[in-house]
A and B are shown apart, each in its own frame.
Chain A
Amino acid sequence: MADTGALNRAGVAAGTIPRELSGPRGARPRRIVSRGNIILYGTLFVMAVYYLLPLYVMVVTSLKGMPEVRLGNIFSPPMEITFEPWVKAWATACTGLNCEGLSRGFWNSVRITVPSVILSIAIASINGYALANWRFKGANLFFTILIIGAFIPYQVMLYPIVILLREMGLYGSLTGLVLVHTVFGMPILTLLFRNYFSSIPEELFKAARVDGAGFWGIYFKIMLPMSLPIFVVAMIIQITGIWNDFLFGVVYTKPDLYPMTVQLNNIVNSVQGVKEYNVNMAATIITGLVPLIVYFASGKLFVRGIAAGAVKG
């Protein structure tokens, strides 16, 4: 474009092109309904529908009564909206012997997730800070071992941990499960925090040391206030991961302490009586609601934090 502009000016200056005919040539490249745009938005639209359709079916089905579900028109909107299945899923659906619905599992999951998230992030952020800034002797070895931990499949460690928890007297308790979640979150979270803290200029850390701040002083007064985005990322990873966990929940707890996911499975897979699809759908949505809310509430910070943590290794 620049050279046609220059050409035009040269032409005008030389008097070969009348002034009124000169100017930028070619079409203004900004039409909304063009073939490219139709293909682009069309494709995006089809993709979006493809991904959203199951969610649509779930929502619609959960709002229908059983007679309507039996008609089998899974895409049609409910003729008569009812919240009965939601109430049943939450309060009275039966899993095994008790019929308290998902509510008990929900509170179990909260009691598992909240302490696990807080504990794992607290420890991992301090780990990452120490590894990034204090470079103690053997720091690299420690870090390597920790990262190797991230590559060992969970199944390998399942049974040894059962024995370990049994010996500690924590097997079958929520405390034991919280401990397991905290330990398993450690490698990835430590990596995340270490990378984020290494991206903070080292001179800032040195300045704080000259100013007389110690290990904890620098952590709380300098590093923490600068690290909100990465804490949000860590929280999202942990909340969704622990909330959605099924394996550890079913292995390390007892039936009355099962997290929501295990209970959902028990409701959906119960073999007795009629399959209540509407209740199952409602129960599934309720279970998935927490991670969804977390994503929506912190989307912006999440993107910022991911980008920040990704820059330096």
Chain B
Amino acid sequence: MSSVIINDLSLSFGDVKVLQSLDLEIGKGEFLVLLGSSGCGKSTLLNCIAGLLDITDGQIFISDRNVTWEQPKDRGIGMVFQSYALYPQMTVEGNLAFGLKNARVPKAEIAKRIARAAEILHIEPLLKRKPAQLSGGQRQRVAIGRALVRDVDVFLFDEPLSNLDAKLRAELRVEIKRLHQQLENTTMIYVTHDQIEAMTLADRIAIMRDGAVQQLADPATIYNRPVNKYVAGFIGSPIINFVDGQLVMNSDPFLKAGDLKVPLARYEFSGNGAREGNVVFGMRPEHIFMDKAAEDLPFRAEAVVEVIEPMGADTLVWSRLAGHEFRFRVDGQTAIKKGDRIAVGFDPARASIFNAETEMRL
């Protein structure tokens, strides 16, 4: 059963097309993350779902009701904002009660719902305080509570963790995940530019660019089988290695890029797209191994170390392999230095190959 359906949704401001005929179907209780760099239209889409922006074309259904032209309050949604957006003149309790009072919920019911939300979010001791007296993490908890008390079908998060420091962000991330598990039937749509948030929280991720969805899939698929070059480059840190080359389709297909020749017998080509021609070969840094670990891998070669970046837990190595730059990750305890010649290897089955012109996955 679908909770939110977006049907051919477009939005333009004058001549500028911000969202272009989007179709999206989000299941009940699903956690969908809208991921993209700034300006891709992800927050705009969320505002459209919330009813804070009037759309130019298309329809929006929430819980099987056409809410395209309904007021935000009637859509059965709760929203959490990046800047928390707590009403500064009201106490925490007042903030939580505001929406319920507007909906003329009886007093006893309001008290009950506030107590429940406060318990779930551990904000009971803060109820009498003003937002100015709270820390960033506490404020965002209250903001989540404001959506929680309204007992809505769909939670909308607009970069809720972006204003917090790294430690709090990690804490609250887990808490949001826990909350989602606790509220089984509540759908959550979560906008972020942080791929770690997206990977950890999402059931499915929609990667957006220029007002269109590039790929909509579960995190593992997005990571392992990116549908195009943009998605491959956007997901993953450190960033995926790209090598320009030619695809040669013999009985044994291989990639030729200068002196580099990678056999692709193990690579699973998708559908019908595999043809000879210019391609971009992508290999994730964490899928490249060195020395002993590389011994059994189908592809092996010798690389020269150019730069090493120790990051504690692991070390990022920038190397040159047959004239092409390859970054890869090794254990933090490594002894390799600049100028070392090392054996590296990878499994071409884990690669992603894209058509050089269309940038689509082959």
Interface set of A (CB-CB < 8 Å, partner B): 201, 203-204, 206-213, 217, 221-222, 225-226
Contact = CB atoms under 8 A, between A and B. Distances in A.
B102 A207 contact: no
A211 B98 contact: yes
A207 B89 contact: no
B72 interface: yes
Contact of B72 (A209, A217, A225, A226): A209
Nearest to B75: A210
Given A211-B73, A211-B98, A213-B102, A206 B79 contact: yes
B146 interface: yes
A203 B85 contact: yes
B81 A203 contact: yes
24 contacts: A201-B83, A203-B82, A203-B158, A206-B50, A206-B52, A206-B72, A206-B81, A207-B79, A207-B81, A208-B87, A208-B98, A209-B51, A209-B72, A210-B50, A210-B73, A210-B77, A210-B79, A211-B73, A211-B146, A212-B71, A212-B72, A212-B99, A217-B102, A222-B87
Task: Identify the 7 closest CB pairs spanning chains A and B, nearest first.
Answer: A212-B73, A211-B99, A212-B102, A203-B85, A207-B85, A225-B89, A203-B81
A226 B77 contact: no
Contacts of A201: 83, 85
B238 interface: no
Interface residues of B, number: 26
B103 interface: yes
Contacts of B143: 207
A226 B81 contact: no
A179 B82 CA distance: 44
Given A203-B85, A209-B52, 6 more contacts: A203-B82, A203-B158, A204-B85, A207-B87, A210-B73, A212-B73
Contacts of B83: 201, 203
Contacts of B146: 207, 211
A212 B79 CA distance: 12
B88 interface: yes
A225 B88 CA distance: 9
Interface in B44-66: 47, 50-52
B78 interface: yes
Contacts of B102: 211-213, 217
Contact of A213 (B47, B85, B98): B98
Contact of A210 (B72, B87, B89): B72
A77 B85 CA distance: 60
Nearest to B104: A212
Contacts of A211: 73, 98-99, 102, 146, 150
A143 B146 CA distance: 35
Q: Which of B85, B88, B89, B146 neighbours the largest number of chain A CB atoms within 10 Å of its CB? A: B85
Contacts of B73: 209-212
A273 to B, nearest CB: 59
A47 to B, nearest CB: 40
Nearest to A200: B88
Contacts of B79: 206-207, 210
A196 to B, nearest CB: 15
Nearest to A225: B89
A226 B89 contact: yes
Nearest to B50: A210
A221 B102 CA distance: 11
